[in-house]
Amino acid sequence: MISNRLKIRWRHLAIVGMLVFLALIPFNWFLGQYTSLVIFIGISTMVTVGLCLLLGYTGQVSLGQAAFYGMGAYFSAVLTKGYGFNPWLAMCIGAAATGTFAYIIGYPIFRLRGNYLAMATLGLGLVMYVLFRQLTQFTGGPDGMAGIPFLSAGNFVFDTPFKRYYLVWGFTLAVLLLSQNMVRSRIGRALRAVHGSEEAAESLGVNVTQFKVKIFVLSAVYASLAGSLFVHHLRFVSPQPFDFLASVIIVVMAVVGGLASIWGAIFGAATIQLLSNELLLGFGKLDIAVYGLILVLVMIFMPEGVFVKLKQVYAARRETAGRLLPARLKRAAPTTAGPPVEREESSFD
């Protein structure tokens, strides 16, 4: 009981510490110079969480998350810049349209399994990328679209990175909490059953196809919302951020953070964003080889994910320390007994 209470207390302290750290990042006296980078980490986390639900909990491979990411971005850009829609309304329309599209294509796609499913989602991503480039009358083609308006709430405009930071991370934390609660509910148990064995799940009354499609739709909506936040932050959109490499990077983020770890999505997104924006700038087009190498190494040596592995190592060390501490205290405790009494040797002579 005491051990469980300590674990819960430490977990709550860790959450509070993380929230305080996130709240202080955009201030110039702390880490203000990294505000834009952490905004992109938040946006990437939203997309990664959706893929974790789909791949880690449901066991369905998707190599086309960038397609939904791009759909949300272009819906917001086209409706606000081209047709004068309110940005919030455009974001909602984009999320609804993306979710509907995912629902329509989800049923035929999830009739496939294994490599065929991966190829189908890969093809979806490539088709959407081509459409983003070719529908120049709407998307601006390869040159993209500029002048996308900021998001605003009444007279309060999110026109600085400082303001947009809290907006993006408000969305990100909401997505994380919603997903965490879901995987701990009956839905999460059903998803794990589908991942373990679809036949066994069906025998227990789980509608496997329906659950797979629902999670596919939810992951698409997450990606769409992230895409909308992305374009309203940059005020520019082009097809390049939604190409095949973008889908690979999202998969690498999920793998590094842990496919079955919701909060690990932050770690995975932060790691890859730091690599992309700080460490791999001089690699040019070779960065995809680095991402591929990371993916291979993690899947071989830490298939549960780097974040999950670090948690396991930390938990094992704490458990070892917890077992050794009582023994050390016992050895260090002063003895209250008197000196040993010498027994007289008896003689039977």
| CB-based contacts of 87, cutoff 8 Å, min separation 6 | 76, 80, 149, 150, 151, 152, 228, 232
- pLDDT at residue 308, as a whole number: 83
Asked if the structure places residue 194 within a domain, the reply is yes
- pLDDT at residue 332, as a whole number: 62
Q: What percent of the chain has pLDDT over 90?
A: 47
Asked if the structure places residue 93 within a domain, the reply is yes
Q: Between 315 and 141, name the one with better pLDDT.
A: 141
Question: Which domain CATH number covers 52?
Answer: 1.10.3470
Residue 224 token pair: 């769409």
Asked if the structure places residue 138 within a domain, the reply is yes
pLDDT reading at 187 higher than 60: yes
Among candidate residues 232, 72, 37, the one with its CA nearest the CA of residue 146: 232
Q: What percent of the chain has pLDDT over 70?
A: 90
Reported as a pLDDT band with limits 50, 70 and 90, residue 266 is very high
- pLDDT at residue 324, as a whole number: 64
Reported as a pLDDT band with limits 50, 70 and 90, residue 329 is low
**Exposed/middle/buried for residue 297 (C-beta within 10 Å: 0-12, 13-18, 19+):** exposed
DSSP per-residue letters across 252-273? HHHHHH-TT-STHHHHHHHHHH
Among candidate residues 10, 239, 229, the one with its CA nearest the CA of residue 140: 239
pLDDT reading at 286 higher than 80: no
- pLDDT at residue 175, as a whole number: 95
Reported as a pLDDT band with limits 50, 70 and 90, residue 348 is very low
End-to-end CA distance of the chain: 61
Asked if the structure places residue 333 within a domain, the reply is no
Asked if the structure places residue 293 within a domain, the reply is yes
Asked if the structure places residue 344 within a domain, the reply is no
| CB-based contacts of 134, cutoff 8 Å, min separation 6 | 141
Asked if the structure places residue 22 within a domain, the reply is no
Domain that holds residue 274: 37-323
Strands of the chain, DSSP E: 145-146, 152-153, 156-157, 236-237
| CB-based contacts of 157, cutoff 8 Å, min separation 6 | 150, 151, 163
pLDDT reading at 28 higher than 70: yes
Asked if the structure places residue 302 within a domain, the reply is yes
Residue 130 token pair: 């081509």
**Average pLDDT along the chain:** 86
Contact call for residues 179 and 215 (beta carbons, < 8 A): no
| CB-based contacts of 147, cutoff 8 Å, min separation 6 | 81, 235
Residue 136 token pair: 């120049």
Instruction: Report the distance separating Cα 200 and Cα 324, nearest Å.
Output: 43
Number of domains within the chain: 1
| CB-based contacts of 200, cutoff 8 Å, min separation 6 | 193
